[in-house]
């Protein structure tokens, strides 16, 4: 077996394709309605939040190795479910980000709000 079976996953497209293969091999597509994927995404996001729940801002910048490992796993889970949700809805996540960045740039011009948490 390949030592790094997912080493080829280096972009959102290759991640999407790897997830399609992973899900198909386990016959999970039947469970991956957008509703279910979004609910799973919410759970994984909550698990990421839980790591930071009682930390100060300073502590959140200096995670222990255990906290960092847990955050790494949860970030992966969030990204997996987000990419699967986008795929199920035929949404290109990068195109969506580009469109949202443009909307945000117009809504929050840097010259007007720089430094405002607002």
Q: Which domains does the chain have, with CATH numbers?
A: 12-111 (1.10.287.1080)
Among the listed residues 34, 39, 67, the one whose alpha carbon sits nearest the alpha carbon of residue 51: 67
* Among the listed residues 74, 66, 79, the one whose alpha carbon sits nearest the alpha carbon of residue 46: 74
- On whether the CB atoms of residues 12 and 94 are closer than 8 A, the answer is yes
**DSSP one-letter string for 27-39:** T-GGG--HHHHHH
**Sequential pLDDT tens for the chain (118 residues):** 567 999 999 999 999 999 999 999 999 999 999 999 999 999 999 999 999 999 999 999 999 999 999 999 999 999 999 999 999 999 999 999 999 999 999 999 999 888 777 6
Predicted model pTM: 0.90
Query: Which helix (H) or strand (E) covers residue 14, if one does?
Result: helix 12-25
């Amino acid at each position: 077996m390949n030592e790094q079976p997912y080493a080829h996953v280096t972009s959102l497209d290759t991640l999407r394709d790897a997830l399609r293969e992973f899900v198909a091999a386990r016959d999970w597509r039947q469970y991956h309605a957008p509703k279910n994927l979004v609910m799973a995404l919410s759970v994984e996001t909550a698990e990421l939040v839980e790591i930071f729940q009682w930390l100060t801002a300073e502590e959140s910048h200096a995670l222990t190795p255990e906290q960092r490992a847990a955050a790494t796993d949860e970030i992966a889970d969030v990204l997996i479910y987000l990419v699967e949700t986008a795929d199920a809805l035929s949404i290109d996540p990068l195109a969506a980000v580009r469109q949202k960045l443009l909307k945000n740039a117009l809504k929050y011009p840097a010259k007007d709000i720089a430094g405002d948490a607002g």
